[in-house]
Amino acid sequence: MQKEPEATPEPTAERDLKGIDPTRSRHSLAEDIFALVVGTSLVAFGVFLYQQASLVLGGLAGVALILDYLTPFDFGAIFFAINLPFYLFGIGSLGWRYILRTFAAVTLMSAMIRLLPSGISIVEIHPLVASIAGGAMIGLGLLALFRHGAGLGGVNILVAFLQERLGLRAGYVQLGIDLMILAAGALVVSPTELAWSVAGAVVFNMILGVNHKPGRYMAFS
């Protein structure tokens, strides 16, 4: 007698919503903390390279960088302050766990950006190196944070919400928002510096677009 094929399990609501099988293993707390530190460190150093080359970037980090160039306030303080309203938006849609992790990441990055100049001195850096290397670091850092249930506030909260609820690809959504913020950067940098900034934005958003897809990553937070 021919054996009947096993029935395919019905997809759960959670699997349909996130593209993730809920039976897959979760990250441990130690793994989440490690990813938080490494991810924010990579993004902070990428932003530092952008600062040294007088470039701009997208997201709230880009807004903070533009204000850093225009005002006497430093990037870390601006970045921390302008993120505060977005936490309220994210609590209802993404939950306390995501918001708390994101708050920790933003706080840690704000502190790192303030401390990096005292530990590293860059005499000269070509904008090509800053945009490509810095963009890659930012992309990989954000990827680590996203995969461990965190972000860097602001636009990242909106992007994560849109991907989770509507299935919109995180990298491509953020690329559109970033381009609008980069356009505003034309007020503070030269056309050449703006062109290098756009190149860096493409690099880190393509890293997210290629690697951060629903259902691709095995573990989840």
Q: What is the pLDDT of residues 186-213, one digit of tens each?
A: 889 999 999 999 898 888 878 877 776 6
Cα separation, 65 vs 79, in Å, equals 8
pLDDT over threshold 50, residue 18: no
Residue 23 lies in a domain: no
Coil, strand or helix at 186: helix
What does the block give as tokens for 214?
Answer: 């629903």
Using pLDDT thresholds of 50, 70 and 90, give the confidence band for residue 68.
Answer: very high
Residue 192 lies in a domain: yes
Number of CB atoms found within 10 A of residue 128's CB: 12
**What confidence tens digit (pLDDT) does each residue in 99-156 have?**
899 899 999 999 999 999 888 888 889 999 999 999 999 999 989 998 888 888 777 6
Residue 102 lies in a domain: yes
Cα–Cα distances in angstroms (integers) from residue 178 to residues 78, 85, 93, 102, 111, in the given order: 18, 19, 22, 19, 23
Question: Model-level pTM?
Answer: 0.78
Residue 133 lies in a domain: yes
Question: What Rg do the C-alpha atoms of the chain give, in angstroms?
Answer: 19
What does the block give as tokens for 159?
Answer: 């992007």
* pLDDT reported for residue 151: 82
What does the block give as tokens for 99?
Answer: 């918001």
Determine the average pLDDT of the residues in 166-174: 75
Residue 196 lies in a domain: yes
Number of CB atoms found within 10 A of residue 113's CB: 27
Residue 60 lies in a domain: yes
Contact between 107 and 171 under an 8 Å Cβ cutoff? The reply is no
Supply the range of the domain harboring residue 149: 29-211
Question: Under 8 Å CB-to-CB from 85, ≥6 apart: which residues?
Answer: none
197, 202, 85, 46: CA torsion to nearest 10? -60
Does 47 or 85 have the greater pLDDT score? 47
Contact between 135 and 42 under an 8 Å Cβ cutoff? The reply is no
Residue 200 lies in a domain: yes
> Which segments of the chain does DSSP mark as H helices, in order?
13-18, 29-52, 59-70, 75-119, 127-146, 155-166, 170-184, 191-211
Residue 16 lies in a domain: no
Task: Give CA angle at 26 (21, 30), nearest 5°.
Answer: 160
Determine the average pLDDT of the residues in 27-51: 92
Report the domain count for the chain.
1
